[in-house]
Structure 1
Amino acid sequence: MYYSSINAFQWIEYSSITHLAVKYYQVSTLTVDWTSIVYMALYAPLFVPSSYVIDKWGLRTAGLIGCTGTLIGTSIKVFSIGRELFAVVLLGQVIVAASQTVIICIPPKIAATWFKHSELSTTCSLGTLGSQLGCAIGFVLPPIIVQDSEDPAVLGHGFKILCWSLTIAMVPVTAAVLWYFPDQPPLPPSIAQAQLRAKKDKEEFKTSDFFRSIKQLLMNKGFLIHMVAYGINIGVFSAIGTLLSQFILQYFEGAHEDAGRMGFVMVITGMIGMVLFGVFLDKTHWYKEVTLCIYLFSSISIICLMYSLEWRSKILTYISCAIVGTFTNAYMPVGFELAIELTFPSEESTTTSMLLMMTQILGVIFAVALGYLNLMFGCFWSLCSQSVLLFIGTAVTAFIPNDLRRQEAFKRNPEMKKNSMHGSRLVFIE
C-alpha cells in the first residue's frame, strides 16, 4: 500500500497543476495530459509480461520490480528542474508508469495467497486502497507545494521540492521490500493453499500453460462482456481524473487548491466505498447485482457533476465529486471480484491484468478525446459524453451472465476436492 500510493500519486502529480506545468515548462495542456495518459498507454503492451512475472516468479519478484522501478523513475525526475527539461519529466513518468503495471496486479494475488476465502473481497479492496490514497494525495499536495507565480524560479523551486519529497519517501519502503517482502506466508491460510503449494513444488511453471490460460479467458463470453464494461467505467474515471483540474478552473477561476481538494474528496469517498462494498460482497456474494447497481449510479453521478459545475456552486461540486468517487472508485474491487467469479479457477493476476488492459486502452482513448472535446465544446458537453459512455456500460453489464463459478465450486465441494483449470495451475477447493 505504501509504495503503491507513491506510484499512483505520480499519475495525477502534474495533471492536478496543469496550469503551472504549462507556465513553467512552456508546453501545451495536451502535452501535460500525457504525464497521466502514459500510465494507461504503457499498460496494454506490458500487461502480458507483468502477468507472466507474477505467475512465474511470484509476489516477491513482482514487488521488487514494482518498488525499485518506482524509485528509479521518481529519482530521474529530480533532474527535470529546468524550463527546457520536460522530456526528463516524461522519461521519469514512463519508468514509473511501467512499474505500475506490475504493482496494480498484486492485490488480488496477495488476497488469494495470504487470506482465507471469507476475507478475499475485503482484502482485495484494502489492497487497492494504496493506489487510491496516492491519487487522493496527488490531487491535494501539488497545488500546495508548487505555488503559482509569474517568477519561473519560484515555480521551479516548488517542482524541486515535490520531486525530492517523492524520492526521499521511496527510499525507506524500497529498503523494506529488499529486506522483507515474502512470496507467501510461512503457513498456508487454507487447505486449498496448502495443496496448491505442494503441487507447485512438484511441477515447474510452463510458459505454454500461461498463454493457454489467457486463451481460455478470451473464450469466456461472460468475462469478455464484463471486460468491456469494466474498461468503460474505469476508463471514464481515469479520463475525468486527468482533466478534473481543468474542468474546475473553467468554472471557478483561481480555485487551484479547491480543484485539488475536490479531487481528494472524490478519491477518499471512493476508498470508503471500496471497503464498504468489499465487506458487503463478502457477506452477501451478490456480485452481479452490486456491480450493476454501482455502474448505474456512476452514470448518474456524472450528470450531478455536470450540473453542479454549470450552476457554479462549489458546495454542490464538492458533493458531486464525492458521489462520483463513491461509485466509480468503488466499482474497481467489485469488478475485480466479479471477474474472478466468472473466470474461476484461472489465475487472479492474469484475470486482473486482462481487465486492466482494457481499462488502460479505453482510458487513453477517452482521455485524449476528452481533452479535445473540452477544447472544442467545453466542460459540460465533454462530461456529457462520459455519462453516455457509462450508461452504455450499464447496459452492457446487464448482459453479463450471473455465473458465479467460485461460489458454486465451494457449494459443490464441502470437502477438499481437486479441480483442474486445464493449464497454468491446479486449484484445490476446501
Structure 2
Amino acid sequence: MVLTELNHHHNGLSLSKEVSGDGLASPSSNGVPVPVQEERQAMLPGAGPLLETRLYRRRFVVLAVFSLYSLVNAFQWIQYSILASIFTGFYGVSYQDVDWLSVVYMVAYIPLIFPATWLLDTRGLRVTALLGSGLNCLGAWIKCASARPDLFPVTMFAQVVCSLAQVFILGLPSQVASVWFGPKEVSTACATAVLGNQFGTAIGFLLPPVLVPRSDDHEETSHNISIMFYGTAAVSTLLFVLTVAVFKEKPKIPPSQSQAVLQDCPPEQYSYKQSIINLFKNIPFVLLLVSYGIMTGSFYSVSTLLNQMITFHYEGEEVNAGRIGLTLVIAGMIGSVICGIWLDHTKTYKQTTLIVYVLSFIGMIVFTFTLDLGNLTVVFVTGGALGFFMTGYLPLGFEFAVEITYPESEGTSSGLLNASAQIFGILFTLAQGKLTTDYDPRAGNIFLCAWMFVGIILTALIKSDLRRHNINSGITKSDVKSVPVDSPVEPAPSIQSSTQL
C-alpha cells in the first residue's frame, strides 16, 4: 500500500490522506476524500495547532491477526476442561490433574507479568507479539506429540508453554488499539481485540466435544485427539507467519495526539521502574485495580464452576451446562463490542463502568436465586445476561485504566489489571468451590455477590481524570514519558506547528 501525504490546514489541524496501492483516493460527495473525512472524524476538536496524525489501513490487519492468535490461545486453554471426563480416562489421571491444565494459565501469569510488561515497554509491540504468537504455535506442536495415554507430562509441558504465550497476549489489546487507532475508534478496537480471546473460549466450549466424542476405544480417542491437536497447530503456524509478515512496531505517523505527544518526547526520559511506581501511586488506578480484579475474578470463578453448579441442581445435564457456558461467553462478546462502541461515542468512562458493574451485580443476584427453580430456560437467560455485563466490563476496565494513567504504558496498566484478575480468580475459585461443595451453589454465589458489592463502592470512589482524552482534545498540558528506549522506532512524524502540547 502506498501512502501519500495531503496537508489541509483547517482550524489548525494537519490532515493526512490514506490511499490504496494505485495512489488514488476515493472522493466523497462533498469533494473531500473519504479517508480524509475518516481522519477528521477520528480527531477530536482541539484548541490550537496540533501535531500531525494519520490513520493507516494496516491497523485493521494488525488488529485481525492479533485477535486471531489470541483466539487460538484461549481455545487451547479451555480445550482440556471441556473434555475433562475424556482426558481423565485417556491419560489415567484425576480430575484435579486435568484442572491444572487450565489453572496453569492463571498461575503462570502472576509472576511473569512484570518481565512481560518490561519486555513490552523496552523491546516494543512487535517483539512481544512475535513471542506471544510464537510460543502459542510451539505449545500447539508439542501437544501433537502427546496423544498417547502415557504422555500426560508432555501435554502438561505443552500447556505450560501456551500459558507463557498468554502472558504476552492478554495485556496487548489496549496497547494495539492506542498505537494504531484514532481517538474515536480506540475503545472499539480494544473491545475487538478482547473479543478475539472470548471467541476462542466460545469455540473451545463448542468444537472439542465434536472433534473428540466419547469412546471406549483408546486408539480411536487417540486419533481424534491428534486431529484436534494437529488442526490447532496448523492454524497457529499460519497465524505466526502472518504475525511476522504484518505486525509492525508502530505506524510512521501516530494516529492520535496522545500518541504523537509520547513519540515527540526524548526516549531517555522513560523508566520502567518509575512507571510501575507511578501506577501504584495513582489512587484512582489502585481502586480500579482492585475493583477490576473482583469483577473479572468473579467471572473466572463462575465460568470454572458453572458445570458443577448446573449439575448440582440438574443432574445429568452436562451437555446443557456446556451450552449455558457458551451462551454466557457469546453474550459477553456482544456486550464487549457494544461497550467499546459506546465509549468511543460518549467518552463516559466512569459512568459506564459503574453502571455495568451495578448491572453485573444485579445479574449475579438474579442468577443466584433462580438457579434452583428447576427451569433450564431461566438459567440460559440469566446466564446470558450475566455474561453480557460481566464480560462487557473487560474492555471498559482496560480503557478506563489507560485514560486515568496516561502517559504510562498501556501494556503495563493492562498487565497489572490482568494480574489482579488472575489473583482474585484463583482465590474466588477456591473459596466458591469450597462453599459449593460443603453447602450448595447458592452459598458460593452469595460469597461472590458480597465481593462484587465491595467492587461497586470502590468504582464509585474512582476520580475520573481522563488524561488521554484531554490530550487528544488539545485542552490540557501534561508531563509525558517517552516511548521505550530500545523500542524499534519508525521515522519521527513531522510537526506542523511550533506550538507545544
Q: Which residue of 2 aligns with 1:13?
A: 79
Residue 185 of structure 2: SS of its match in structure 1? Answer: helix
* Structure 1 spans left out of the alignment, 5+ residues: none
More displaced, 62-71 or 75-84?
A: 75-84
* CA shift for structure 1 position 304: 2.8
Q: Report deviation, 1:25.
A: 2.7
C-alpha separation between the residues in 1 aligned to 2:358 and 2:439? Answer: 25
Name 2:446's counterpart in structure 1. 384
Identity of aligned residues (%): 35
Match of 1:235 in 2: 297
Relative to structure 1, is the Cα distance of residues 160 and 370 closer, same or farther in structure 2, using a 3 angstrom cutoff?
Answer: farther
Name the structure 2 match of 1:57: 123
Q: CA contact under 8 A between 1:265 and 1:322: conserved in structure 2?
A: yes
The equivalent of 2:366 in structure 1 is 304
**1:270-281 → structure 2 map (5 Å cutoff):** 270-281=332-343
- Aligned letter for 1:14? Y
* 1:90 to partner: Cα distance: 1.9
Shift of 1:194: 4.2
Match of 2:480 in 1: 421
Quick one: structure 1 residues 387 and 150, their matched pair in 2 at CA, closer, same or farther if it must change by over 3 Å?
farther
1:8-407 equivalences in 2 (<5 Å): 8-194=74-260, 196-199=262-265, 203=267, 209-407=271-469
Query: What letter matches 1:328 in structure 2?
Result: M
Cα 1:399–1:62 change in 2 (3 A) is same
Residue 133 of structure 1, CA deviation: 0.5
Look up the equivalent residue of 1:346 and give its one-letter code. Answer: E
Q: CA deviation at 1:315?
A: 1.1
Larger mean Cα displacement after TM superposition, 327-336 or 82-91:
82-91
CA displacement at 1:299 relative to structure 2: 1.9
Deviation at 1:409, TM superposition (A): 4.2
Secondary structure of 1:19's counterpart equals helix
Q: Which moved more, 1:97-106 or 1:373-382?
A: 373-382
Q: CA deviation at 1:192?
A: 4.7
TM-score by length of 2: 0.79
Q: Structure 1's 195 and 241: CA in aligned 2 closer, same or farther, altered over 3 A?
A: same
- Alpha-carbon offset, residue 369 of structure 1: 2.8
Deviation at 1:44, TM superposition (A): 1.3
Of 386-395 and 324-333, deviating more is 386-395
Matched residue type, 1:395: I
- Larger helix percent: 1
1:150-172 superposed Cα distances (whole Å, 9 cap, x missing partner): 44444433322222221122121
Kept in 1, the 8 Å contact 2:69–2:236? The answer is yes
Tell me if the contact between 2:363 and 2:385 (Cα under 8 Å) persists in the aligned partners: yes
Deviations 1:361-406 (A, max 9, x none): 1112222333333332233322332222222222222222233333
Tell me, yes or no, if the aligned pair for 1:144 and 1:257 is still in contact at 8 Å. Answer: no
TM-score by length of 1: 0.91
Give how far 1:314 is off: 1.8
Using the TM superposition, name which of 142-151 and 340-349 deviates more. 142-151
What secondary structure, in the 3-state scheme, does the structure 1 residue paired with 2:478 have?
Answer: strand
Distance 2:362 2:158 in 1: 37
Would the aligned equivalents of 1:33 and 1:242 in 2 still touch at CA under 8 Å?
A: no
**TM-superposed deviation, 1:217:** 0.5
- With over 3 angstroms needed to count, the CA separation of the structure-2 counterparts of 1:247 and 1:22, relative to structure 1, is farther
Rg comparison, structure with higher value: 2
Distance (Å, rounded) in 2 between the aligned partners of 1:402 and 1:242: 33
What CA RMSD, in Å, does the superposition of the two structures yield over aligned residues?
2.4
Structure 2 letter corresponding to 1:32: V
- Using a 3 Å threshold, how does the CA distance of structure 1 residues 288 and 27 change in structure 2: closer, same or farther? same
CA distance in 1, matches of 2:157, 2:374: 38
Q: Following the alignment from structure 1 to structure 2, what is the Cα–Cα distance between the partners of residues 83 and 256?
A: 24
| Partner-residue secondary structure (3-state), 1:330 | helix
Query: Contact conserved, 1:245 with 1:259, CA < 8 A, in 2?
Result: yes
Measured in 2, the distance between the counterparts of 1:155 and 1:308 equals: 38
Amino acid at match of 1:47: I
- CA distance change for structure 1 residues 247 and 166 in 2, over 3 Å: closer, same or farther? farther
Letter in structure 2 aligned against 1:383: N
In the TM superposition, residue 198 of structure 1 has moved relative to its aligned partner by: 4.6
1:312, distance to aligned residue in structure 2 (A): 2.7
Change (3 A) 1:92 1:308: farther
